[in-house]
Amino acid sequence: MQPDAIRGQLTSFIVKNFPLARKRNVGVDDRLLGEGIIDSLGVLDIVGYLENQFQIAVGDDDLSPENFETIGRLAAFVERKLTGTSSQGHDGNGSSSRA
């Protein structure tokens, strides 16, 4: 799946399900958690969506603020899951810390 398609699907879901995201016209780099657009229950809604829509498993170790901070980071997280790259070995900025 193309990264743009993933970002588009995530944006659509978030705008549809979180009124503050719709009101603020949220973009891919807006801070979802830091700006109060989603809360901890919202993260659970997003996890359910990710697991159903993209057929990925989201484990406890994946529930870090870095993965859910922006739509862009969410999309990168989904891409890693779809390609089978573990979230371990990544520094949260999309860079791999593996040698």
> pLDDT, tens digit, for every residue of 48-70?
999 999 999 999 999 999 999 99
Q: Write down the pTM of the prediction.
A: 0.81
Quick: pLDDT tens for 76-90: 999 999 998 654 444
Are the CB atoms for 90 and 96 separated by under 8 Å?
yes
Which CATH number fits the domain 3-83, given the four candidates 2.60.40.1930, 1.10.1200.10, 3.90.400.10, 2.170.120.12? 1.10.1200.10
Q: Distance between CA atoms of 34 and 48, rounded to whole angstroms?
A: 21
